[in-house]
Amino acid sequence: MPKNLRIGLMVLGIIGVFMAFAAGVAAQATVPPATTAAMPAAAPLTVDSGDTAWVLTSSALVLLMTPGLAFFYGGLVRRKNALATIMQSFIIIGIISVQWVLWGYSVAFGPDLGGGLLGGLNWVGLNSVGLEPNGDYAPTIPHQAFMIFQMMFAVITPALITGAFAERMRFKAFVFFTILWAAVVYDPIAHWVWSCTGIDGMAAINGCAGQPGFLRGLGVLDFAGGTVVHISSGVSALVAAVVLGRRLGFGEERLEPHDATMVVLGASLLWFGWFGFNAGSALGAGTLATSAFVVTHVATAMAAITWMTMSWVHHGSPSVLGAAAGAVAGLVAITPASGYVTPMGAILIGLGAGVFCFLAVDYVKHNIEVDDALDVWGVHGVGGMWGALATGLFATVSVNSAGGSGLFYGNPSQLLIQAVAVVVSASWAAVMTFLILKLVDVTVGLRVHPEEELEGLDASLHGEAAYAVEI
């Protein structure tokens, strides 16, 4: 079949899916809204065992995502850097877990210092973060259950960035960068989007009866981390790739993944763990968690199919690695929308993720030649932006009465609000990441020596090998 004909059929297929979605919107006009797991504000705060069990299970699922990411990234690098790449994700679990307890959680979710910009140090060392529920965040689970769930988000976010500077950053520089980035980029953005400082008698603003984070106060919808996790890490990854420069041999030799099976294993673990990421963000076991679970799966499936098809059309073969990357792109894109959209909306979000992220990765590699080693910007940056904007298109209160409706459900202003969140979070992440990298560079140095890079970071930095035998 001629290439132009194949592309034409794809375009017709996309148009057909959008038309089916429009018909579905009309048919759903009388669907009653689903309720969230949260109890009425006036009800006494008691721990619900089912909600608590689900959130703790979800926390474990989200924790599993970081080792899954380690396998995903570890398979994409060359053999001589596999162990060093896996180590970065693994040790981040330790670094950020401690940072979160010491001050990160307080800065991200603690009582607001003013204007919804930053949390205070009231909860340093988990002071006052006990086993009773906190009604501002999750009235049916212990406060520590909410804290540990959010910790796992804080853990994986800087780990995502490591794919951009894979195979060339010094380990000491990586450690300092991770700590500074979490404190200066992740914690403030999490506060802007998700925080709530309750004030008695205040009317609720975007679900917060008190002082919300400033983006939450604008009405931004981000159910599970499109801005907080993916835009912040994706933009930071692009900045890091530019600042560190290209790997030796980039553009001159093929820097191929050494283990495609490991990549697929990692993508599969990410897919599995992401159900905790998104459905767990309902903070209870109920209708909203169910809806988030369903749309997470169908968006991911659609994105995997789409990326594989795009690869087939453009490069002549249905890429296995492309399908894995597409699945991750779909997971990224549905994240902010997962608590607000219908299954048909999720399919369109997955479709967009497969197309836009594929094109972004292809463009970065072949046009501007930035060495984003493992395509973090194309998958997480572009996927996160598309997901945030798509929330402003497909969100509907028929799914979540505590959320809002988007453009296709009669509220065009939501799309503008989402665009503001994209610009603000991306700008902050870009500027702060650049400054952090420059600070680390002048203090300990960012990049390994050329001879260390040629030898491979497994041996030159860690003195170990990923494999005992040649493969």
Query: 285 near 148, Cβ under 8 Å?
Result: no
pLDDT of residue 131: 97
User: What is the CB neighbour count within 10 angstroms for residue 120?
Assistant: 14
Question: How far is the C-alpha of 434 from the C-alpha of 452, rounded, in Å?
Answer: 24
Q: Is the pLDDT of residue 431 over 60?
A: yes
Question: How far is the C-alpha of 201 from the C-alpha of 198, rounded, in Å?
Answer: 9
Lowest mean pLDDT among 54-68, 104-118, 192-206, 326-340: 192-206
pLDDT tens digit sequence for 184-215: 999 999 999 999 999 988 888 889 999 999 99
Question: How far is the C-alpha of 139 from the C-alpha of 312, rounded, in Å?
Answer: 49
Q: Kindly indicate the confidence band of residue 5, based on its pLDDT and cuts at 50, 70 and 90.
A: very low
Q: Is the pLDDT of residue 72 over 50?
A: yes
pLDDT tens digit sequence for 437-464: 999 999 999 999 999 999 999 999 999 9
pLDDT of residue 257: 96
pLDDT of residue 178: 98
Question: How far is the C-alpha of 453 from the C-alpha of 248, rounded, in Å?
Answer: 8
Query: What is the set of domains in the chain, with CATH numbers?
Result: 45-202+212-460 (1.10.3430.10)
